[in-house]
Amino acid sequence: MKTANETILHIDLTKLEQNFDYFKSILKPETQIIAVVKAFAYGHGDVKISKKLEKLGIYALWVSDFEEGVSLRIAGIKSKIIVANPGIKSYNEIIKHKLDVVIYNQKLLDLYCSKNDNVNIHIKFNTGMNRYGFDANEVSSITNKMNNNSHLKLLSVCSHLAASSNKEKKEFTLSQIKLFKEIIFDFKTKSKQEFYTHILNSNGVLNFNEHQMGMVRIGIGLYGSNEDENLNQISSLKSVITQIRKVRKGDFIGYNNTFKAERNMKIGIVPVGYADGLNRQFSNAVGSVFIKKAECKIIGKISMDSFAIDISNISTKLGDEVEIFGENLHVTTIAKKINTIPYEIYSTLNRRLKRIYSDS
C-alpha cells in the first residue's frame, strides 16, 4: 500500500492470528477466549484488530469503557463486547448497543437490578488485586439480587491476577486462584444460573495453564509482547531521516542543552516525538533506533514531534528508514530500558500515527 506518511505503525494481522492459534493450542478445546482490545487495542487500532479476532472465533471482546464498545458496534462488530468499567451514566448506551457489563460493586448491581432491560452480566470479585471487584463475603447479597431479577443474564464470574508474570510471586498468584475457586463454589451453590468462570490473563495462561477455567482473557499475548518464544510481536514502528546535519565538538543538541557533543558528529533528525508516544525517558542515549541493521543512539531530549540520533559512523541519507521498534528492537526490550512495561509503550502510541495492516 502506497502512503504519503513517513512515520508508520505496521501491523501484521497474520502474526496476530499465529499468536491466537498458539494460545488455542495450549488451551483445552472447550476453553473460550475473551480478547482484550481496550485502549485502542493496545495502540494497534481496535476496529481492524477486532474484525480479525472476530473472524478467528473469539467468544467476546473486552473493552474498558462504553465508548470503546459503542465505536466497535458502529464499525460493524457483532460479537459480544464486554465493558469492564461501565460506570453509572452509560446505562442507556449500554442497552442501545447491546453491550455486556462487568458488575463490580453494589451500586452498579442495584442500578441494573432497578431496570427492566435484558442485559448480559459478568460479576467481578477482588481476590488480591484490590482494585475493582466484590469481596468474597458479598456472594449471598449478589446472588439474592441476581436470583430476583431474571432480566439480568449472568454469563460469567471473574477475577484478575495481579502478578501472573512474576515467577517470584507464584505463591501470591496461587493464593488468588485458590480464593477465587472458593468464591466460585459458594456462588454456584447460591445462584440459579449457570455461568463461565475466568481469572487467567495472558501470563496466567502461559505460567499457570493448569488452572484454566471455562474462559481466559488474553490481551498483551495477542500482540506478541510476552517473554515467550512462541509469540510474535505483531507491529513495528518506522520513520525516516528528514534532516542531516554536522555538529562540532562542544555544540549542544536539543532542548535545555542536555547533550553536548564531545567530538565532531553527524546527526539525523527523525519526525517522531513524545506526542506520538515516544517516551522522553529514551532521551540522551537511553534509547536507540536501527538504520540498515546498525544501532544508532538517541541523543539530546526527545521533542514533541522529533528526536535526534547519532549517525556519525554509518552511511545514510535523507529518507532512509529508521526502525523505532520492530525486527531489531522488541518492545519488551525497550520497555525494560526505562523500567516500564510493553503495555505502556503500546497504549501511548498516538492515534495520529498512520497504521497500515497486512494480512496474508
Residue 189 has pLDDT above 60, yes or no: yes
Cβ pair 20, 12 in contact under 8 A: no
Helix count and strand count (H, E) for the chain:
11, 19
Instruction: Kindly list the catalytic residues.
Output: 38, 255
Of residues 227 and 26, the one with the higher pLDDT is: 26
Domains annotated for the chain, with CATH where assigned, are: 13-218 (3.20.20.10), 235-329 (2.40.37.10)
- The pLDDT confidence band at residue 282, using thresholds 50, 70 and 90, is very high
* Residue pLDDT, tens place only, 337-349: 999 999 999 999 9
Mean pLDDT value across the chain: 97
* Residue pLDDT, tens place only, 246-280: 999 999 999 999 999 999 999 999 999 999 999 99
* Residue pLDDT, tens place only, 77-104: 999 999 999 999 999 999 999 999 999 9
- pTM for this predicted structure: 0.95
**324: helix, coil or strand?**
strand
- The pLDDT confidence band at residue 40, using thresholds 50, 70 and 90, is very high
Q: Of 308, 310, 277, 305, which is closest to residue 294 (Cα–Cα)?
A: 310
**138: helix, coil or strand?**
helix
The arithmetic mean of pLDDT across residues 182-195, rounded, is: 97
Q: Of 315, 313, 350, 312, which is closest to residue 324 (Cα–Cα)?
A: 350
* Residue pLDDT, tens place only, 319-333: 999 999 999 999 999
- The pLDDT confidence band at residue 227, using thresholds 50, 70 and 90, is confident
Residue 1 has pLDDT above 60, yes or no: no
Q: Of 47, 71, 43, 67, which is closest to residue 350 (Cα–Cα)?
A: 43
pLDDT at residue 91, as a whole number: 97
Q: What share of the chain is helix, strand, coil (3-state, %, to 5)?
A: 35, 25, 40
pLDDT at residue 225, as a whole number: 87
Q: Which residues pair with 158 in a beta bridge?
A: 124, 198
